[in-house]
Structure 1
Amino acid sequence: MIEGEFAAPSPGALADEVAAVLIGRRDPGVETFERLLGALVVHGHRDRAALMAALESVPRAFAARPDLPVRRLAGVVAAAREPIPAGEPREKPGVGWLEVCQHMALDYVAGTRTAEVAARLRSGDPVPFLLSVPSGPGGLVEPQALVERLAAYGRLGVRPGPADLGQALLRCGGPVDPDVLRAAERLDLPEGQRVADWLRQGGLPAPQGWRERERGVPERPSRRRGARIGRRILVGHEAIEGRGAFPRPFWSLFRKFEPGIPCPHYSLVDGRDAHMVAVLPRHPEVAAARMLTGVASAADQNGPGAPAFLDALAAADGPAGPAVHLAVAYGLAAIPQGEREAAVRALVLLTARGRLDGELLGRELTELVGLGTLKVPLLTESLRAAAAAPQGAAGVWAVLADALPGLLAHTRPQAHGALLAVAADAARCSGARGELPEVTALAGRAGSSMLLKEARRLRDVLAGH
């Protein structure tokens, strides 16, 4: 299984694929990045000379600044073709590391792993394959796969890299077959008992989280203060036990995360991508909480969007709680169109997978609209698009059934005619029945405005007419 799992293209074909990614400068996605990273390691161990020769055709410089995953891949390529001369000191990844921002904890993990890979390639001491290469597209490492990989290390007399093993453990967890646990306990490696204990506890424990609003009285956006005065809802989490066994740069992830602490990064876009979700594929809540400031900036400050991040949150296998739903809420009314489209896909996917909490998302949308953070026309446009997608109408109605009463009671209802039209269509398509008193009261008013017409239509749909 190990041999087939880590089959790699020829050095020449690998060099061509790597060159295409570097020339393109755009994030190739988690699956392609991990496959190329793993193949570089495999060839660096099998035949370093052949790999070095093939990589000579790969560009050494960029015409413009590429995405962060591309820069990291370029660093590994440089290390693979430029070994350290004999007698020179070897690199020690993580030495002198300093935590500069609590939001970047996931980025520290990803960066430390690729730095370790590069250091071992440069020093001529590569591992035969990486332990942390995902078993599937989302980043998960199956427990059985990890144990089998470690067993192969034991047979080959190879010690795992601390960052590689640490990332593999963060990607691994959940219910474990007793046979896999017994195999882990029999591993002929000093790390065997640690791995067995980790799998027995189910992987990284989910931290206790909390939701909080930014400090300050909500103010309208201004040129001096932007939009970040009391207008965002964020999520923090308590400390996570067990950091001591991981490399020091991983420790930031285990610390208590307090979203109210000022951050030197304006938009956090450089590290807000699917790779951050893949660091902790079983805990999208942690990834969403850490990156939520950046997601919010796309809604209230016209910050840059990062659609792949929202797509990955919805596709992850872990629980979707307040942080994930807030990320979707901000995305649905984001200013960049690509971010809104990703939020629509996320809403539909969460609905299809049974992970959407419509009541929770409805409450968050109501509060964020009331704070002035989200613009109703953009939100309406996104919900209309979601309702038109297969299985989307049920999710949109689940959200609006909870959001509409608050929106109609606490915001200017005159602006919600188009939103009521979306609600009526979604209710009809999903077969919803019942009554919303606020809608019934609005429908009973005299007049012929769009708001009143759509309120009557929604009332009649819910009554089965």
Structure 2
Amino acid sequence: MSELLDAVRAGDHESVPGLVKPLTPADRKAALAELKALRSEVRGWHWDRWRERSRVQRALLVAGAGCLTGAAAAAAWIGARDLRNGDRAPWGLADLLADRDPAWLGEVARRLAERSSTAEDDFSLIRELSERAGTPLPDTDAVVRGWADTVGDRERSLLGGLRKDPHVTAFVPRLFELAELPNGISWRTDAQDPDHWPSLLAVLAEEGVVERDMLVDACVARLLRGGRPRELVFFLNVARRLGLSPAEETAHTADWIGMAADGPSAVAGYAHGVLARIAADGALPVRSLADMTGSVLFRPEKKLVRAQLVLVGKVLRSDRGAADELLPVLADAAFGHQDTDVQERALKLVARCLADVGEESRQAVAASAALLSPVHRARAVELFGEQPAAGAGLVSYEEILPPVPLPVRLAPAPSTVAEVVEEVVVLSGGRDGDTVSFERTLDGLVRLAYQDTAALTAALRDALADRWWFKGETRIGSDSWFVRAADVGLVAAALLEKVSARTLTIVKSRWTANGKWCAHEALDGVLNARLREVASLIRTRPLPFLLATPTWESGTLDPDVLVERLREYQRLCATPAPVDFAQALLRVRRGGRPETARAAAALGTPEARRLADWLSGEGTPVPALVRDDSEEAVGSAAGGEGLVPRARRLLAGTRERRVVEKDFPREFHWLGRSDVEVARYCYHWSGGRNTNWPAVLPENSEVLAHWLLPGVEGCAADGQRGGTWCLPVLAEIAELPGPGPSLHLALAYGLGARHPGDRLAAVDGLLILAARGGLEGKLLGERLGALVDQDSVKLNRLTDSLRTAAESGAAGTVWSVIRPALPALLAPGTKRTGLGEILAVAADCVERCGAAGEAPAGLAALAARGGGSRVTAQAARLLAALGQQNDHSTPKTVKTSLN
């Protein structure tokens, strides 16, 4: 037994089976107690022993499985997360257990198969145990995935493995029921690949190894269920490789209709093609086609919508009696479609077949004509023989914008030890905290450390015992990422004496010695400096509370509240921390508060006098906070960065810089520097975002927009994700009236982002800024026109964003943006893909809000070109719409429009 324990401690898992087999039941029981004790010991090892721990845990897994006598206990031991580290079960484990009762082996296999976290990796072990037990192989989802990944391992080819595998008839149907396909199946999309699963399944069906009817039914059911696009490609390929017969396709007509109506785009397109073949054979009931038409015409895919109109037209040509049932449905769905081309096609189809319908159907179609765009109403009057009633199809327009965001007061800091510890555990566990949770937790931690250090320390010691930095006896060194990251856990670690004040001082000196920063590193530096300052003071000179804790969730600090905090500091004879006070200054609004400035000056402390000067506008100038409205700030920049502005020299000379360096801590000296980089390829953009950045300078949204602009541009130019997160935040805190060009330029890039989620964030920012009265439509429109002209923003993405904003009820706002962009888009000699789409959005906005006025330059010439192109048609539509007058109201927010 001692040899076994020595081998386990040495991590020699290959020798363990030979040492376990000779042991008697009593020896195994005694060894098991030692193994459990060693397992508990290994859990507490410091993180820097991870290699040794991994080897020992692997040996522990084999030894414990061999010593345990209960099936449940053995399965739990083999599948334990702390013994696996994401690895497969060691080879030879089945041989070690081979002398056990077959029923015991089967029970272990069943229990391992039910462990979804490890069963896929343990498939080989489960299969061996099941074979030795003589029991069927369990068919859990994880086991099926493991089978699919290993089925061809024992043969020269995957097809040969499938032909000979005894589980193929039971497991192939289960593939169509899995929530997620194995990667080995879904990633193999090349039909020429010898391991292309759809092709192999078709071969197996031809050879009778699996039932064809089962494959067809399972494939149709799986396509109807939907799923991730990559997986649906697999099932579509199965259907194509099977080559469904007309009878098989017709038997699933209802399923195809469901896919065409609600399925993902690729599935809907395939299903529509099947339905077109069924209809061509005369096997598609008219009622089914009518139901399908009402659903498909509401889909966003233009190709699918037009294909449906073609299908309806073919059916009406061959069966004129179907017009009574089809035309009312067609008119109801197509006459109100956002695409006027679809309206036009539907109107022509109705005109061709209107004579074949009865009076009731004719009246229904005529009623739907009120939904047509104004450009088609004249044709509708000719078709139905009477002028629609005055105002038909025209409704009183009301601009709907989101509610103006109101300041939300930051909730008080948690006041009990239990509340503070809970928040610290959450924020130090890897979860990204927002400004609210970060500031409340930090302030609560500081307050309780001042009031009852002993109770707080004891509670944190118990709650954070599992943290890597808490284990072991060594302290965290200055080279650790932990002391350079904005993590509240750093303060807790300092309180628990796991990081020394000297380490924090070394890290501070290294950072401030750096001669050049990007803007994002500088913003991170402020957050980190606050945490390091609190951590270094929390044991030696704890602060009663933090001065810089915001009053509002946006990060802004009420100056009256700061004066009261300074008064309380004075009463407690407490000295403000330099970084904390500097951050507080940057969070208060300057100017316009003479009473507050006088109250601050009356306190007489150095910090209070600085606050008084700051509020009166006579304090230290911080050049980087000065707004720059010049065209040069958003003009073209060298180096291929498009319109992204480079860092500008905002200092008049070295004298002013010395003033900044004199009055602010070193962590803030970058505010007075001209070499803070604003670069599109800054390394921060490959690592995400920090939602606490806006709270560093909540009263300077234009400067923040200037610094965060490269991340937004990356979403448009490079297809990056997540860079537009800041736009709604910046729009909400933007200074009024009229934010500067950087925020508008950021919005322009965001509206042209590649990914829909990023464009949606930009739309939110646009609407919030408009609701607050800070949107300059001319400025934004001109920026959009310039970006499209430089090919920095794709017109189709921009169109999608503006259409989304218009459909939310802000047609007037969207038109105010599109109107100044059109001269650049319509410039002579330019040919732009997607121009017809944005003209359609513009025409729709004008028709809704009734904005009459002079047509943009080049629009009339474009409309007069003639021909049947979409660009020409939409130009003519917009030109006509600009000459009409609608009843419309002034913009209102959602809140006011509902009252």
- TM-score computed with the length of structure 1 as normaliser: 0.86
Distance 1:258 1:95, change over 3 A: closer
- Report Cα offsets for 1:398-439 as digits up to 9, x if no partner: 110100111121642452111111112222333311122322
Shift of 1:83: 6.5
Letter of the aligned partner of 2:670 in structure 1?
S
Any unmatched runs of 5+ in structure 1? 217-228
Query: Any conservation in 1 of the 2:486–2:527 contact (CA below 8 Å)?
Result: no
- How far apart, CA to CA, are the structure 2 residues paired with 1:137 and 1:235? 30
- How far apart, CA to CA, are the structure 2 residues paired with 1:138 and 1:67? 27
- 1:25-174 paired onto structure 2 within 5 Å: 25-55=430-460, 56-58=462-464, 60-61=467-468, 71-82=486-497, 89=502, 91-92=504-505, 94-96=508-510, 97=512, 98-104=514-520, 105-121=522-538, 123-174=539-590
Query: Any conservation in 2 of the 1:235–1:323 contact (CA below 8 Å)?
Result: no
- Equivalent in 565, 589, 600 of residue 184 of structure 1: 600
**Match status 1:19 vs 2:439:** no
Query: Any conservation in 2 of the 1:29–1:275 contact (CA below 8 Å)?
Result: yes
Query: Any conservation in 1 of the 2:548–2:581 contact (CA below 8 Å)?
Result: yes
Shift of 1:141: 0.7
Letter of the aligned partner of 1:459 in structure 2?
L
- How far apart, CA to CA, are the structure 2 residues paired with 1:376 and 1:21? 41
More helix by share: 2
- How far apart, CA to CA, are the structure 1 residues paired with 2:592 and 2:851? 40
- How far apart, CA to CA, are the structure 1 residues paired with 2:752 and 2:422? 40
**Match status 1:370 vs 2:770:** no
Farther off after superposition, 142-151 or 270-279: 270-279
Query: Any conservation in 2 of the 1:101–1:263 contact (CA below 8 Å)?
Result: no
Letter of the aligned partner of 1:75 in structure 2?
L
- How far apart, CA to CA, are the structure 1 residues paired with 2:483 and 2:760? 23
Letter of the aligned partner of 2:418 in structure 1?
G
- How far apart, CA to CA, are the structure 1 residues paired with 2:676 and 2:715? 21
- How far apart, CA to CA, are the structure 2 residues paired with 1:423 and 1:235? 33
- 1:274-285 paired onto structure 2 within 5 Å: 274-285=691-702
Letter of the aligned partner of 1:82 in structure 2?
E
Shift of 1:316: 0.9
- Show the counterpart of 1:256: 674
- Show the counterpart of 2:862: 442
Secondary structure in structure 2 of the residue aligned to 1:186:
helix
Shift of 1:452: 1.7
**Match status 1:196 vs 2:607:** no
- Report Cα offsets for 1:85-119 as digits up to 9, x if no partner: 8xx75843733422442323322222212221222
Farther off after superposition, 373-382 or 407-416: 407-416
Farther off after superposition, 418-427 or 138-147: 418-427
Distance 1:460 1:273, change over 3 A: farther
- How far apart, CA to CA, are the structure 1 residues paired with 2:724 and 2:483? 15
**Match status 1:350 vs 2:777:** no
- 1:264-413 paired onto structure 2 within 5 Å: 265-268=682-685, 270=687, 272-319=689-736, 320-390=739-809, 392-409=810-827, 411-413=830-832
- Show the counterpart of 2:75: none
Distance 1:317 1:295, change over 3 A: closer
**Match status 1:429 vs 2:429:** no
- Show the counterpart of 1:226: none
Distance 1:137 1:29, change over 3 A: same
Secondary structure in structure 1 of the residue aligned to 2:635:
strand
Secondary structure in structure 1 of the residue aligned to 2:634:
strand
CA RMSD for the aligned pairs? Answer: 2.9
- Show the counterpart of 1:212: 635
Shift of 1:381: 0.9
Shift of 1:202: 7.5
Shift of 1:351: 0.6
Shift of 1:350: 0.6
- Show the counterpart of 2:29: none
- Show the counterpart of 1:219: none
Query: Any conservation in 2 of the 1:440–1:456 contact (CA below 8 Å)?
Result: yes
- How far apart, CA to CA, are the structure 2 residues paired with 1:325 and 1:125? 45
Farther off after superposition, 163-172 or 357-366: 357-366
Distance 1:70 1:247, change over 3 A: closer
Shift of 1:236: 4.0
Shift of 1:164: 0.6
Letter of the aligned partner of 1:53 in structure 2?
A
Shift of 1:270: 4.7
How many corresponding residue pairs? Answer: 441
- How far apart, CA to CA, are the structure 1 residues paired with 2:690 and 2:845? 31
Shift of 1:284: 0.9
- Show the counterpart of 1:224: none
Distance 1:19 1:249, change over 3 A: same
Query: Any conservation in 1 of the 2:554–2:698 contact (CA below 8 Å)?
Result: yes
Query: Any conservation in 2 of the 1:173–1:202 contact (CA below 8 Å)?
Result: no
- Report Cα offsets for 1:352-371 as digits up to 9, x if no partner: 10111111111111111111
Distance 1:447 1:400, change over 3 A: same
Shift of 1:148: 0.8
Shift of 1:215: 1.2
- How far apart, CA to CA, are the structure 1 residues paired with 2:483 and 2:701? 20
Distance 1:272 1:452, change over 3 A: same
Secondary structure in structure 1 of the residue aligned to 2:774:
coil
- How far apart, CA to CA, are the structure 1 residues paired with 2:498 and 2:566? 26
Query: Any conservation in 1 of the 2:482–2:490 contact (CA below 8 Å)?
Result: no
Query: Any conservation in 2 of the 1:52–1:80 contact (CA below 8 Å)?
Result: yes
- Report Cα offsets for 1:127-153 as digits up to 9, x if no partner: 111111111011111111111111111
Instruction: State the percentage of identical aligned residues.
Output: 37
- Show the counterpart of 2:71: none
Distance 1:448 1:89, change over 3 A: closer
Secondary structure in structure 2 of the residue aligned to 1:78:
helix
- How far apart, CA to CA, are the structure 1 residues paired with 2:482 and 2:728? 18
- TM-score computed with the length of structure 2 as normaliser: 0.46
- Report which of the two structures shows the higher radius of gyration computed on alpha carbons: 2
- Report Cα offsets for 1:60-97 as digits up to 9, x if no partner: 249xxx99998522323322333668xx7584373342
Distance 1:265 1:68, change over 3 A: farther
Letter of the aligned partner of 2:754 in structure 1?
I
Query: Any conservation in 1 of the 2:486–2:531 contact (CA below 8 Å)?
Result: no
Secondary structure in structure 2 of the residue aligned to 1:409:
coil
- Report Cα offsets for 1:375-411 as digits up to 9, x if no partner: 1111111111111224x32321111010011112164
- How far apart, CA to CA, are the structure 1 residues paired with 2:455 and 2:683? 44
Distance 1:188 1:231, change over 3 A: closer
Query: Any conservation in 2 of the 1:26–1:67 contact (CA below 8 Å)?
Result: no
Shift of 1:267: 4.9
Secondary structure in structure 2 of the residue aligned to 1:356:
coil
- Show the counterpart of 2:415: 9
- How far apart, CA to CA, are the structure 2 residues paired with 1:259 and 1:7? 35
Any unmatched runs of 5+ in structure 2? 1-409, 470-480, 886-899
Shift of 1:462: 1.5
- How far apart, CA to CA, are the structure 1 residues paired with 2:641 and 2:616? 43
Secondary structure in structure 1 of the residue aligned to 2:827:
helix
Query: Any conservation in 2 of the 1:442–1:452 contact (CA below 8 Å)?
Result: yes
